A = this chain, B = another copy of it.
Amino acid sequence: MLKAPDHQVAGHQAREGQLGPLVDDSGRFYKPLQNNGRGSKELAFYRSFFSDPRVPHHIRRFFPRFFGTLVVEASDGSGPQSHLVMEDLVSGLDRPSVADIKIGSRTWYPHAKEDYIAKCSKKDRETTSLTLGFRVSGLQIYDEDNEAATGGFWKQSKKQVQGFTAEDVRGTLRRFASSNPSAATAATADEEPDCAFAAVVYGGSGGILAQLLELKAWFEEQTIFHFYSASVLLLRGNGATEAARVKLVDFAHVFEGDGVIDHNFLGGLCSLIRFISEVLCGGSDGRPHPEKSSAAENGGQG
């Protein structure tokens, strides 16, 4: 009954005999408990988060529902293994568009081992994490007009998103709210992403911007958790007729806040909010359409 998810855009994938997450047909997502301590840390986070009375009820909806652990057959054929069981966030969404955005200028935490810090620092500097306070980790956007050519989704490879510039990130956030997400690629270089869904996906009282601002208000106050290397998922269904959702995922590096706010996450979140506001309202300089991005060109060549 378990299978590899159809709409996973980042992280280890359960394909070709690899170990990765699985989904069932009742809306549950099974994530293998990693042996290196990350799995048990993520499990500890879910348990403490949902039992902590200091977490306001309205904030819990930004996190995947958690159902405990279950031993199931691992995707790599290595036999039964313990999995975290949580809500499958794309379940029920028709042709889901998904952007995985890793938040924080710094993905490493104080007191980490030096080699881990060096590895993370290098990646933060090679990607937009350092400069923008976040980076795109994965991406698929439903592309109605190119269902035959693209298999229905405009995607970018891991390597492509890792090479994103600030302008590529701007383009991505525009594409995410466009009916023609593959516009301004080599094939259609004269066309721009139309941002047709921006008002409904990003705007309004239930839109992504309002949800991010609600999260931000909590991060300005909460000193319980520090989230390193966690992601904001932006989700929407086909044609934006289904509500857009914001979710937080990946909690293998969550630490106690010790009475201090998570200024690293908050700063990055504010930067993302500023980028999305720009799509919704035009640039701060009144420039509504940024130049064609190099990501778009890469996308066309890829």
A residues with a Cβ closer than 8 A to B are 105-106, 110, 125, 130-133, 166, 220-221, 223, 258-261, 263-264, 266-268, 270-271, 273-274, 283-284
Which of B223, B258, B270 contacts A263, CB < 8 Å?
B270
Q: How far is the CB of A172 from chain B (nearest CB, A)?
A: 15
Q: Is the CB of A220 within 8 A of B263?
A: no
When A166-B258, A258-B166, A259-B166 are in contact, do A264 and B131 touch as well, CB less than 8 Å?
no
Asked if residues A259 and B271 are in contact (CB atoms below 8 Å), the reply is: no
The one of B106, B125, B260, B266 in contact with A110, judged by C-beta atoms closer than 8 angstroms, is B125
CB closest chain-B residue, reference A134: B263
* Interfacial chain B residues near A268, Cβ < 8 Å: 263, 267
Residues of B within 8 A of A271 (CB): 260-261, 263
Most chain B CB within 10 A, of A133, A223, A268, A270, is at: A270
Are A223 and B106 neighbours in the complex by a CB distance under 8 Å? Answer: no
Q: Please give, as numbers and ranges, the residues of chain B lying within 8 Å of A266 by CB-CB distance.
A: 266-267, 270
Are the C-beta atoms of B260 and A220 separated by less than 8 Å? no
Known A-B contacts A220-B274, A274-B223; A263 and B106 likewise in contact (beta carbons under 8 Å):
no
The answer to whether A105 and B263 touch across the interface, beta carbons within 8 angstroms, is: yes
Is there an interface contact between B105 and A264, defined as CB atoms closer than 8 Å? yes
- 8 examples of A-B residue contacts, CB within 8 angstroms: A105-B106, A105-B267, A110-B130, A132-B260, A133-B263, A166-B258, A264-B267, A266-B266
Q: A270-B266, A271-B261 are in contact. Are A284 and B132 (CB under 8 A)?
A: no
Residues of B within 8 Å of A130, CB to CB, are 110
How far apart are A59's CB and chain B's nearest CB, in angstroms?
15
Specify the chain B residue showing the minimal Cβ separation from A272: B263
C-alpha gap A130/B267 in the complex (Å)? 13
Residues of B within 8 A of A263 (CB): 105, 132-133, 267-268, 270-271
What separation, in Å, do the CA atoms of A90 and B263 have in the docked complex? 30
**Complex formed: what's the CA distance from A223 to B131 in Å?**
12
Bound-state Cα–Cα, A263 to B263, Å: 9
Chain B residue at minimal CB-CB distance from A283: B259
**9 pairs of A and B residues whose beta carbons are closest in the complex:** A267-B267, A263-B267, A133-B263, A263-B271, A261-B274, A261-B271, A266-B267, A110-B130, A266-B270
* B residues in contact with A110, CB < 8 Å: 125, 130-131
CB distance from A235 to the nearest CB of B (A): 24
Question: Considering the chains assembled together, what is the distance between the CA atoms of A106 and B133 in angstroms?
Answer: 12
Smallest beta-carbon distance A186→chain B, Å: 25
- Give every chain B residue within 8 A of A260 (Cβ-Cβ): 131-133, 166, 271, 274
- In the complex, given contacts A166-B258, A261-B274, A263-B270, what are 20 additional A-B residue pairs having Cβ atoms less than 8 angstroms apart? A105-B264, A105-B267, A110-B130, A131-B260, A132-B263, A133-B264, A166-B259, A166-B260, A220-B274, A221-B284, A259-B283, A259-B284, A260-B271, A260-B274, A261-B270, A261-B271, A263-B267, A266-B266, A266-B267, A267-B267
